[in-house]
Amino acid sequence: MDTALRVKCLLVDDLDENLIALAALLRGDDVELLQARSGAAALELLLEHDDVALAFLDVQMPEMDGFELAELMRGMERTRHIPIIFVTAGSSDKRRLFKGYDTGAVDFLYKPLEPLVLRNKAEVFFQLHRQKQQLARQLGELTETLRLNEMFTAVLGHDLRNPLSAILTAADLLQRRSEDEAVQRTAGRMLASGKRMGRMIEDVLDLARARLAGGIPLRRGETDFGALVQRMVQEHQSASPRPPIEVFQEGDVVGDWDADRLAQVASNLIGNALQHGDTSAPVQLWLDGTNADAVCFSVKNLGVIPQAVQAHLFDPFRGGVQRRGRTGGLGLGLYIVQQIIQAHHGQVEVESGASPYTVFRVSLPRRGTEVIKL
C-alpha cells in the first residue's frame, strides 16, 4: 500500500473495551489508528500527527468530554477541518444533537454500534481523504512541472538573444552594403522579422521573470513620460502611418519610474490600438500630469472589444481572433503591461462598449513606494 495514501483515524474513549471494539471494526492495512483514553491525550496525538482523516469521539468522558474536545479541535488551524463523529451510549436527545453539530460534528452514532454502519460511514471519509491526498500530490507535480518549464523557457529565451543579434547584425550589414535592390528588400524583411522575434523573446523572458521572480524588476530614475511617449509614437508611425496618432499633454509628466519598462507599456498599448482599432479614426493619447501625486496615460481608439474577451484581456497567451488577419505576437503584451504597472504600484484598466471607442487608462504614482523591513 502506498504510504502516501494511508489514512489516520483518531479514536477517543475513556474505556479500553470501547477502544478495542472500535479499533477492531476500523483496522485495515491502509488505516493507521491513533487511540487516546482522554481529551488531553487526544490533543497530544493531534500535535504529533498531521493530516488526520477522521475522528471518533466519545461524548461522555471525565475531565474533558467529547464536546469540549471538539471545540478545542475547531479552535486549532491544523485540526479544525478534521471530520468528527460522536459516539455516545446515551439516548437520542435533540439538545445534545444540536450541541454536537454546533461543535462541528458530521454525525452521531449510538451504542451499541452497528459494525456495517460504522465501517461504511468511516470508509466514506477515508475515501474522500485519499482523493484529497491524490489531488494534492498531482497539484504538486503539476506545479513543479510548470516551474521547470518556465525555467527552461527563461533559459531558452535568454540563449536565443545571442544568435538573433548576430542575424540582425548580418541583415543590417547586407542592407547597407549591397547595391542589389532584391538583396536590400530581403535584408529589410530579415531585419523586420528579426526585430519582431526579438520582441517576442523579451515578452517570454518578462513572463518568466514575473512568474519565477515574483514580479518584473525595475530600475527607477527620473523619467519624462511625455518624451518617452513621443519616441514610441515616432517608431510606430514610421512603421504604420495609418491611422494617425494624436498626442495631448497637460501638466508635468515627470516621475520616478523605470524608463525602459514604461517604454514597453507605451509601445504595447499604442501597438495594440493600431493593430485592433478601426483605421478610419486616429488613435488618441492623453498624458495628464495635473495631479501632484500621479500621472495618467490614456490610449483611445475606434472599435469595441467583445465583452467575452474583456474578462481575459490581461491573461497571458489569451485567445481571440486577430482583426484584419494581422498577428501581434504571443498574446503577452497586455499581461506584461499590467505586470509593469503593478510593479510601479499603479493601475491599468480598460473601458470598452459604453461608446464606439476603447480606452486603456494607466495611473502611475510619481514616486516609488519604499518597503520597510522590520
Could you tell me which residue, 134 or 208, shows the higher pLDDT? 134
> Residue 158 has what pLDDT?
64
Report the SS3 class of residue 290: coil
> Are the C-beta atoms of 258 and 219 separated by less than 8 Å?
yes
> With DSSP H G I counted as helix, E B as strand and the rest as coil, what are the percentages for the chain, rounded to 5?
50, 20, 30
Q: Mean pLDDT over residues 112-116, rounded? A: 84
Provide the β-strand partners of residue 296.
288, 363
DSSP 261-280: HHHHHHHHHHHHHHHHS-TT
Q: Which residue has the cell 494511508?
A: 6
* Of the listed ranges 141-150, 283-292, 308-317, 330-339, the one predicted with least confidence: 141-150
Report the SS3 class of residue 198: helix
62-83 per-position pLDDT tens digit: 888 888 888 898 888 888 889 9
Q: Could you tell me the residue range of the domain that residue 109 belongs to? A: 3-113
Q: Are residues 202 and 246 part of one domain?
A: no
Q: Are residues 332 and 257 part of one domain?
A: yes
pTM higher than the cut 0.75: no
> Residue 136 has what pLDDT?
87
Give the CATH number, domain containing residue 55: 3.40.50.2300
Could you tell me which residue, 332 or 85, shows the higher pLDDT? 85
> Residue 323 has what pLDDT?
42
Q: Are residues 14 and 104 part of one domain?
A: yes
Q: Which residue has the cell 477515508?
A: 126
> Residue 90 has what pLDDT?
63
Give the CATH number, domain containing residue 264: 3.30.565.10
Q: Are residues 235 and 285 part of one domain?
A: yes
Domain count, the chain: 3
**With 90 as the cut, is the pLDDT of residue 363 above it?**
yes
> Residue 369 has what pLDDT?
54
Specify if 97 maps to a domain.
yes
Domain boundary among 151, 179, 212: 212
* Of the listed ranges 13-17, 111-115, 141-145, 323-327, the one predicted with least confidence: 323-327
Q: Are residues 343 and 252 part of one domain?
A: yes
Q: Are residues 345 and 233 part of one domain?
A: yes
Which residues are within 8 A (CB) of 182 and not within 5 positions of it... i.e. 6 or more apart? Answer: none
> Residue 178 has what pLDDT?
84
Specify if 127 maps to a domain.
no
Residue 357: count other Cβ atoms within 10 Å of its Cβ: 17
Closest Cα to residue 26, out of 69, 102, 87, 79? 87
Q: Are residues 69 and 44 part of one domain?
A: yes
Specify if 132 maps to a domain.
no
> Residue 3 has what pLDDT?
53
Q: Are residues 200 and 267 part of one domain?
A: no
Q: Are residues 289 and 263 part of one domain?
A: yes
Q: Are residues 148 and 193 part of one domain?
A: yes
Domain boundary among 195, 212, 229: 212
The C-alpha atoms of residue 113 and residue 17 are separated, in whole angstroms, by 13
238-257 per-position pLDDT tens digit: 777 789 999 999 999 999 99
**With 50 as the cut, is the pLDDT of residue 321 above it?**
no
Domain boundary among 154, 187, 212: 212
**With 80 as the cut, is the pLDDT of residue 127 above it?**
yes
Q: Mean pLDDT over residues 99-104, rounded? A: 69
Q: Mean pLDDT over residues 353-366, rounded? A: 92
Report the SS3 class of residue 33: strand
The C-alpha atoms of residue 209 and residue 222 are separated, in whole angstroms, by 24
Specify if 95 maps to a domain.
yes
* Of the listed ranges 83-87, 268-272, 319-323, the one predicted with least confidence: 319-323
Give the CATH number, domain containing residue 205: 1.10.287
The C-alpha atoms of residue 92 and residue 259 are separated, in whole angstroms, by 73
Percent of the chain whose pLDDT exceeds 70: 84
Average pLDDT, the chain: 83
192-232 per-position pLDDT tens digit: 788 778 777 777 777 776 666 566 778 899 999 999 999 98
Specify if 134 maps to a domain.
no
**With 60 as the cut, is the pLDDT of residue 1 above it?**
no
> Residue 223 has what pLDDT?
93
